[in-house]
Amino acid sequence: MNDFDVPDGIDVLRVFCGPDGRHGNPLAVVRDGRRYPDNESRQVLARRLGFNETVFVDDPERGTVDIRTPGLRLPFAGHPLVGAAWLLDLEVLELPVGDVFARQDGEFTWITARPAWAPPMTLERYASVADVEALTEPPPGEGRLYVWAWEDEAAGRVRARAFPRTGDAVDEDEATGAAAMLLSTELGRALNIAQGRGSQILTAPAPDGTVEIGGRVLLAARGVRR
């Protein structure tokens, strides 16, 4: 996507980029949510843009945001919040489920969230990295699926792929913060996850039950007035 494909007032980010700055999950951020004041107009735009998620910023100072997929509103999602925190340079994001705290640490942006906020998801361990990479389409079934295998268990390195299977036009998520958070909680340890074609997600569980999710964010395109 280039600048001329993006409507004015919308930034496109890549969230959870790999160490080489490539890949990451695309995210659209509508800086002024007032331009799309109702549910219908937001869903129409989210469908037209076609990204896994689009974030509408309703209050840039308080960090109040609204997350949409092409088909529905989400109470929480990892990569949109990491992207919004980076773009808006905020320490707190306000969501219906609660406040999400954010911080910058060198090239990484981190958010702190609770696993209970994540949507239901099946975490399925595969025998090997090769088995994960061999998938050519979403495995049969319904509901969100996160398949993973140890790349280096001692080092906490994981190979993963995510399949929404929610009826949207998205077959596979390139990088999924909520799934990474759930896996980190299930395993009870910090993880370094390689997902999709080359994205990287870091996690760090805390004693209070929250999990930090971190990654690199880059600006891919900025909307221009036509």
Task: Clarify whether residues 206 and 126 are in a common domain.
Answer: yes
Task: Clarify whether residues 122 and 85 are in a common domain.
Answer: no
* pLDDT tens-digit series, residues 198-223: 999 999 999 999 999 999 999 999 87
Q: Distance between the two ends of the chain, CA-based, in angstroms?
A: 16
**Would you tell me how many other CB atoms lie within 10 Å of the CB of residue 205?**
19
The pTM of the whole model exceeds 0.85: yes
Specify the CATH number for the domain of residue 199.
3.10.310.10
* pLDDT tens-digit series, residues 37-82: 999 999 999 999 989 899 999 999 999 999 999 989 999 999 999 9
* pLDDT at residue 94, as a whole number: 96
Cα-trace Rg, the chain: 17
- Whether residue 150 lies inside any domain: the answer is yes
Mean pLDDT of 178-194: 98
* pLDDT tens-digit series, residues 101-132: 999 999 999 999 999 999 899 999 999 999 99
Task: Clarify whether residues 204 and 122 are in a common domain.
Answer: yes
Residue 16: domain span? 3-91+217-222
- Whether residue 102 lies inside any domain: the answer is no
Find tokens 């088995």 and name the residue. 131
Task: Clarify whether residues 142 and 72 are in a common domain.
Answer: no
Task: Clarify whether residues 58 and 14 are in a common domain.
Answer: yes
Tokens encoding 105 = 């640490």
Residue 2 has pLDDT above 60, yes or no: no
Task: Clarify whether residues 85 and 122 are in a common domain.
Answer: no
Task: Clarify whether residues 190 and 138 are in a common domain.
Answer: yes
Backbone φ and ψ of 65, nearest 5°: -130, 160
Residues 202, 44: Cα–Cα separation, whole Å: 33
* pLDDT tens-digit series, residues 73-95: 999 999 999 999 999 999 999 99
- Whether residue 108 lies inside any domain: the answer is no
- Whether residue 101 lies inside any domain: the answer is no
* pLDDT tens-digit series, residues 136-168: 999 999 999 999 999 999 999 999 999 988 776
Quick one: angle between helices 177-187 and 78-88, nearest 10?
A: 120
Task: Clarify whether residues 73 and 124 are in a common domain.
Answer: no
* pLDDT at residue 4, as a whole number: 43
- Whether residue 167 lies inside any domain: the answer is yes
- Whether residue 49 lies inside any domain: the answer is yes
Backbone φ and ψ of 129, nearest 5°: -60, -40
Domain count, the chain: 2
Task: Clarify whether residues 141 and 69 are in a common domain.
Answer: no
Task: Clarify whether residues 132 and 200 are in a common domain.
Answer: yes
Amino acid, single-letter form, for residue 76: F
Mean pLDDT of 178-199: 97
Question: How many angstroms separate the Cα of 156 from the Cα of each of 17, 63, 124, 179, 201?
Answer: 19, 32, 17, 16, 12
Q: Rounded mean pLDDT of the chain?
A: 93
- Whether residue 46 lies inside any domain: the answer is yes
Task: Clarify whether residues 84 and 163 are in a common domain.
Answer: no
- Whether residue 13 lies inside any domain: the answer is yes
H-helix or E-strand containing 172? none
Pick from 79, 31, 60, 58: nearest CA to 193: 79
Residues 120, 118: Cα–Cα separation, whole Å: 7
* pLDDT at residue 166, as a whole number: 77
H-helix or E-strand containing 81? helix 78-88
Task: Clarify whether residues 208 and 131 are in a common domain.
Answer: yes
CA atoms within 13 Å, Cβ hemisphere of 127 = 2
